[in-house]
Amino acid sequence: MSIGVLTSAALLPLGAQADIASRVGDDGVVTLSNNPNRQYLGVKNRLDRDHVSSPISRYDSYITQASLLYQIPESLVRAVIMVESGFNPRATSKADARGLMQLMPSTASRMLVDDIFDPRQNIFGGVRYLRVLANLFNGDLFLTLAAYNAGEGAVVKFGGIPPYPETQAYVARVVTYYRQYQGQI
């Protein structure tokens, strides 16, 4: 799988994937729908302009190394980290996901991560998981991100992005940051 396949998928409108339509209003609200009547869910696009305009560089070498090793764009890795943890290596979710890339302990174990809070191991494990998912979903950015958030089983079960508002908002947020970060690298 080449970077070009994953990158070019990101340039497609959300509506081109899994019958999800999207639009961005003047107020910065990203709206999504998988409803044939096109009733939209409002998802507030709350970009932290400081993070977007000057990416946190503390983990740059790990991000670059993992990105090259697993052929996942650096800007996508940064976007996932931003949405998952806000670059907080000690972040823990209510669901028990941990670290910069918010790995579940079982996923961390599958991705050969011994210390889930070690930034290097967490980034390498998270990017390795993105590569596994990108391979599973033929480089489809939206399905890869949906699976990272909701699990690959949910994406397979629904045959696309699951109808979970959290997952739909997650995909939209990561793609928004991804496009912002692409212009900076």
**Segment holding 117, helix H or strand E:** none
For strands 21-24 and 41-44, give the pairing: unpaired
pLDDT in tens, 145-185: 999 999 999 999 999 999 999 999 999 999 999 999 998 75
Scanning the structure block, which residue is given the tokens 């090259």? 68
The answer to whether 184 touches 173, Cβ cutoff 8 Å, is no
Q: Which of the 8 DSSP states describes residue 103? A: B
CA distance 58 to 60: 6
- Catalytic site includes residue 84: yes
pLDDT bracket for residue 21 (50, 70, 90): low
Percentage of the chain beyond pLDDT 70 is: 69
Active-site option among 74, 84, 152, 166? 84
pLDDT of residue 57: 84
**pLDDT for 161:** 98
What's the average model confidence in pLDDT over 66-90? 97
* Angle CA 173–176–180, to nearest 5: 140
Higher pLDDT, 34 or 167: 167
Q: What is the mean pLDDT of residues 102-126?
A: 98
pLDDT at 7: 46
pLDDT at 94: 94
Integer angstrom CA distances of residue 96 from 12, 23, 46, 93, 124: 33, 32, 24, 5, 19
- Given 3.40.50.12280, 1.10.530.10, 3.40.50.300, 3.40.640.10, which CATH number is that of 3-182? 1.10.530.10
Question: Tell me, what DSSP letter sits at residue 16?
Answer: G
pLDDT recorded at residue 26:
52
In this structure, the number of other CB atoms found within 10 A of the CB of residue 157 comes to 11
pTM of model > 0.75: no
Q: Cα–Cα distance between 80 and 9 in angstroms, integer?
A: 16
Q: Are 25 and 34 in contact (CB under 8 A)?
A: no
Q: Spell out the domain ranges in the chain.
A: 3-182
Which of these ranges, 16-25, 39-48, 138-147, 160-169, has the smallest mean pLDDT?
A: 39-48
Angstrom distances, CA of residue 46 to CA of 28, 161, 180: 8, 22, 13
Mean pLDDT of the 17-42 span: 48
